[in-house]
């Protein structure tokens, strides 16, 4: 994959009926700024929980319609599973025109080999989660789940969310971050000089010295009711742009006046500029 033009990367919107402000932020982003791009990368956890493509309850139907309109406008939409919406399937892709990306996926942006991931695979210190992940990614377990009624699936998802909330409250924060050796292993295996992922909700751009060369790990931000964020690749380079409710897409676009909350170039103005040697 060697995308040209403007690419936008977002993840961790966690859209749900309980977050109406984040939903309207996402819908205005999809109706505006997203349509100025050539490609849109949705790197997982766009939904807070996805229990099957047959669930058209709110906000699923609205988001699918908005994504279908984005692809109809000529933007290529790529979607990767997150740990909350890994059951997004073929019907969703057919309805929206999104293409499903494997985790990880290697692509080239501006000639750089870039690895795209959701991020949960990098959190290998979280042994309990990795065990849970292996179980629920088992195709047979998923098929059995999908055979159940929507009401029964909704209950199981709510139960998992509750258990997950209790489990994460007990875990040390560093366990839920990426493991640096795992990051290095993925970068080496794929020969990548850039890694883009979400999941950890610790946005930042980290320089990594790996085998004598430099790599960048860009972590996407979680969206909040009144603030989202995207990573942007243009022919001139990479930067971050906020997504704000009050802005029209033209104000949010490339011709926006610089401001405190404006775009931040990468990696020179990084939020986290620590160089990790591996």
Q: Considering the complex, what minimum distance in angstroms separates the CB of residue 42 from Mn ion?
A: 12
Q: Binding ligand LP5 by CB under 6 A: which of 113, 142, 227, 247?
A: 142
Q: Binding ligand LP5 by CB under 6 A: which of 10, 34, 80, 87?
A: 87
> Which residues neighbour 242 within 8 Å (Cβ) at sequence distance 6 or greater?
227, 228, 229, 252, 261, 262, 263
128 binds, among Mn ion, ligand LP5, none (CB under 5 to 8 A by kind): ligand LP5
Q: Considering the complex, what minimum distance in angstroms separates the CB of residue 32 from ligand LP5?
A: 28
Name the one residue in this structure whose structure tokens are 């997004």: 88
Query: Within 13 Å, how many C-alpha atoms sit on residue 207's CB side?
Result: 13
Binding of residue 89 to ligand LP5 (CB under 6 A): no
Q: Considering the complex, what minimum distance in angstroms separates the CB of residue 144 from ligand LP5?
A: 8
- DSSP per residue over 79-133, as a string? EE--SSSTT--HHHHHHH-PEEEPSSEEEEETTEEEEE--SGGG-TT-HHHHHHH
Residues touching ligand LP5: how many (CB under 6 A)? Answer: 27
> Which of positions 36-75 make contact with ligand LP5 (CB under 6 A)?
49, 51
The torsion of the CA quartet 245, 251, 257, 261, rounded to 10 degrees, works out to 20
Burial category of 44 from C-beta neighbours within 10 Å (exposed 0-12, middle 13-18, buried 19 and up): buried
> Which of positions 217-276 make contact with ligand LP5 (CB under 6 A)?
none
Q: Considering the complex, what minimum distance in angstroms separates the CB of residue 82 from Mn ion?
A: 4
Supply 104's token pair: 């990880």
**Taking contact as CB under 6 A, which single stretch among the options 99-107, 165-173, 211-219, 227-235 is the one that binds ligand LP5?**
165-173
CB-based contact 190:104 (threshold 8 Å): yes
Give residues in contact with ligand LP5 (CB under 6 A): 49, 51, 83-84, 87, 120, 123, 126, 128-129, 132, 135-136, 141-142, 145, 156-157, 160-161, 163-165, 167-168, 171, 176
């Amino acid at each position: 994959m060697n995308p040209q033009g403007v690419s936008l990367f977002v993840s961790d919107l966690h859209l749900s009926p309980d977050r109406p402000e984040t939903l309207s932020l996402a819908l205005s982003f999809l109706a505006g700024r997203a349509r100025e791009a050539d490609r849109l990368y949705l790197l997982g956890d766009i939904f807070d929980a996805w229990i099957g493509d047959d669930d058209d309850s709110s906000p699923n139907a609205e988001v699918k319609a908005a994504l279908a309109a984005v692809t109809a406008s000529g933007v290529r939409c790529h979607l990767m599973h997150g740990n909350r919406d890994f059951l997004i399937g073929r019907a969703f892709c057919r309805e929206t025109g999104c293409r499903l990306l494997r985790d990880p996926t290697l692509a080239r942006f501006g000639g750089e080999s870039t690895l795209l991931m959701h991020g949960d695979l990098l959190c290998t210190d979280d042994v309990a989660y990795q065990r849970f992940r292996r179980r629920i990614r088992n195709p047979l377990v998923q098929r059995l789940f999908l055979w159940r009624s929507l009401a029964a699936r909704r209950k199981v998802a709510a139960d998992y969310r509750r258990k997950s909330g209790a489990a994460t409250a007990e875990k040390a924060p560093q366990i839920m971050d990426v493991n640096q050796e795992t990051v290095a292993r993925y970068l080496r295996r794929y020969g990548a000089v850039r890694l883009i992922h979400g999941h950890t909700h610790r946005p930042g751009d980290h320089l990594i010295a790996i085998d004598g060369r430099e790599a960048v790990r860009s972590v996407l931000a979680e969206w909040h009711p009144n603030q989202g964020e995207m990573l942007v690749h243009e022919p001139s380079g990479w930067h971050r742009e906020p997504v704000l409710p009050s802005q029209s897409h033209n104000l949010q676009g490339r011709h926006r006046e610089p401001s405190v909350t404006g775009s931040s170039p990468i990696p020179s103005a990084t939020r986290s500029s620590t160089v990790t040697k591996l």
